[in-house]
Amino acid sequence: MTGKTEDIDNQPVEDNIEKAKGEIARSTQAGNDPQVRLYGTLLLGQLREFEGIDPLIQAIRDPDKKVRAQAAKALGEIGDPSVDTLTRLMDDPDWKVRYRAAEALGMTGSEKAVPFLITALLDQKDHVRYMAAKAIGEKGSGIAEKALIARLGDENEFVRRSAATALGKTGGIAAKEALQNSLVKEPSGEVRDVIGSALELLEKKAV
């Protein structure tokens, strides 16, 4: 924040706070040091205010991976007010943007995010399918069970692993049967371990 200390001291506290928020938002802009941008996205998430959404959406496109990750987390912390803007990013041509948008949607905890995450399970990029499955698991919605079951046959083992984990958290009888069938056919030992853990979790929930 520019200006002399005595000038700031003579301003109403509310005005100084609003100026500080503006400086935080501007700190996330391109041209600033990556650590400054990272810290700015962190603070915007902690503020959890609607006005922080636009600069955070821009930060999701940041060239620095850590900044993008922190921007997604911050948007998730803001919660439901950020969902409408995040869902529009699920059609972005850049898969890295779709990936972070899916991550943030899962962290919002909003039921409105689930249909977009279900659609993202069919994304052409495996990274996005992986994150969509993970986000559904974090959200805890059971309406995606059928779509998650389909991803147990995904060509990418990380997607299969993520889908199995999500089904263990959110699934029911159909998920249990699908996981049991996948356990027999799954070629990856690591994925079989995840499927086994998911089945154990479903057994515990059934008790």
The predicted-structure confidence for 74-90, as pLDDT tens digits, reads as follows 999 999 999 999 999 99
Which range has highest mean pLDDT (5-9, 132-136, 137-141)? 132-136
Higher pLDDT, 31 or 57: 57
Would you call 31 exposed, middle or buried from its count of C-beta atoms within 10 A (0-12, 13-18, 19+)?
exposed
**pTM of the entire predicted model:** 0.86
CATH 1.10.3720.10 describes domain 112-207? no
